[in-house]
Amino acid sequence: MFWSIRRPVALIALITAFANATGPLYGLPVLNGPVIGTTQVPGAKSGPGDFIHPGLWHTHDDLERMRLGVSNQTEPYYTAFQAFSNDSYSQSSYQIQGPYSVLCRGQCSNYTSFSNDVRAAYQNAIMWYITRDDDHWNRSTTILDAWGTSLSDIHGTDTSLLVGLEGDLFANAGEIMRWEGNWTESTAAAGGSAGFSNQLYWLFARQSIIVGQANYGMISIKALLSFAVYLDDISMWNYAINLYQNDLCAGLYGNLQPGSGQSSETGRDQGHAQGGLGWAAEASRVMQSQGFDAYSLGNNLLLAGGEYAAQYNLGNDVPYDPKFYRCEAILVNGPWSEPSPISRGVTTTTPYVYDILYYQYVVKRGLSAPYITQMKQQLDNLTGGEGHTHITNSLDDHPGWGDLIWSYPSSGQYANNNNQTIWGAAKKVKSRTGLSL
């Protein structure tokens, strides 16, 4: 009896001590323990060499499709690029607003400078790839190195959002510049460093391991997929891809009801319902880059989810199952008896989620999606296209610019690097010195 009591007490004490030892997260424990993955889930990897680079939102083939579309003045790439290239975050003259050593999101909040700088790093990375202008290469990598050598802590009650949104964009910028531009972080050393990669691992990836619910949890899952690819972390990848397919609170089936496509947050508000849809689509894009078709999971459940959300936000009635709602709905005044009218409609604040679905399902796969198509058309008429309204649409939630970065010229099968890692592939077109190779 003595041992049966002491063992649980000792175990609790050990876990508490371990949690405390890993450091505070605005008063909450941070888990820096092992990541438990599985090789039994579809799409799992068995070795670091299984990863394709670049391979987050954009493979080498995706980037080439953009570059050639602009160069050949093919639509929608060419027109989209004209707007993209004029955006303030796409300028090589962008003035960096950081870095800072500590970032916080929650009751404390000082992360706007990071949001802006990360956006500029990503858009300058795209600009560099398309134009081969070294000024864009320098602007993007300067931002990556500046934050990579300065940031030492991220905390706050909404750390998961900061890590999963800005952190994912950060990783995407780094992936392009590393594998296409031959960027080497300034503090890289065989003995280890305190630069970009270490920060991405300790401050971003490891703080994403404990995922939340519904859209909040999907943010962490899609970011973990990106972080895992950048870091060649098999365990993290298998952990995240398993969550996406099997976590009934945060994964695909925790966000969208099989069959109907109803979001588990449809009753909460339309901003969160559509946001979760977009983050699942962005997660699927990373898996597509790595050779796994997550877009077809659940009989094209993301397509059904997009149709459901678009149908309701276009002003139509939709069937609603009050028994399908997010885990821990009580935290956000749920569950709910009917779809919420909050944030409903086609407005400048509608989340940038419809282009990625339109191009993936309607254009690339040739599937019917009348409500997604209508939603895209109305948003294009209202805003000129995703990405043109940063002032009124949350800067960090989604990358935007879908006509440039998500588009396909027509239906069909598209190359995915043939499972090859591309190192410095852009040099085949033009080197950083300006010499054609």
pLDDT tens-digit map of 361-380: 999 999 999 999 999 999 99
| The pLDDT value given to residue 257 | 98
Query: Residues 6 or more apart from 117 whose CB is under 8 A from it?
Result: 96, 97, 98, 99, 143, 146, 147
- Sorted by sequence, the CB contacts under 8 Å of residue 138 that are 6+ apart come out as 92
Crossing angle of the two packed helices 159-179 and 214-231, in degrees rounded to 10: 30
pLDDT tens, 139-170? 999 999 999 888 888 888 888 888 889 999 99
What is the pLDDT, as a whole number, of residue 10? 42
Residue 331: predicted pLDDT: 95
Q: Which of 58-62, 113-117, 344-348, 415-419 has the lowest mean pLDDT?
A: 415-419
Confidence check: pLDDT of 189 > 70: yes
- The answer on pLDDT for 6 being more than 50 is no
Confidence at 318, pLDDT banded by 50, 70, 90:
very high
CB 254 within 8 A of CB 305: no
pLDDT at 25: 39
pLDDT (0 to 100) of residue 36: 62
Q: Is the pLDDT of residue 313 over 50?
A: yes
For residue 130, what pLDDT band results from cuts at 50, 70 and 90? very high
Please tell me the distance from the alpha carbon of residue 149 to that of residue 383, in angstroms, as a whole number: 38
Tokens standing for residue 383: 């805003």
Listed by start position, the domains of the chain span 77-208, 232-416
- Is 432's pLDDT higher than 60? no
Q: Which one-letter DSSP state was computed for residue 88?
A: G
> At a CB cut-off of 8 Å and minimum separation 6, what does 82 contact?
none
Q: What is the pLDDT of residues 193-222, one digit of tens each?
A: 678 888 888 888 888 888 899 999 999 999
pLDDT per position as a tens digit, 248-307: 999 999 999 999 999 999 999 999 999 999 999 999 999 999 999 999 999 999 999 999
Task: Output phi, psi for 162, to 5 deg.
Answer: -60, -45
Percent helix, percent strand, percent coil in the chain, to nearest 5: 50, 5, 45
Q: What are phi and psi of 102, to 5 degrees?
A: -130, 135
**Local structure of 265: helix, strand or coil:** coil
| 345 Cα distance to chain centroid | 24
Let me know the angle formed at the C-alpha of 88 by 86 and 89, rounded to the nearest 5 degrees. 110
- pLDDT at 429 (0 to 100): 44
Number of other CB atoms surrounding residue 7 within 10 Å: 10
Give CA–CA dist 138/197, Å, rounded.
18
Query: Which of 36-40, 107-111, 212-216, 420-424 has the weakest average pLDDT?
Result: 36-40
Across the range 404-417, mean pLDDT stands at 86
- The per-residue pLDDT for 192 is 73
71, 75, 76, 77: CA torsion to nearest 10 = 0
- What is the pLDDT at residue 336? 98
pLDDT score of 14: 35
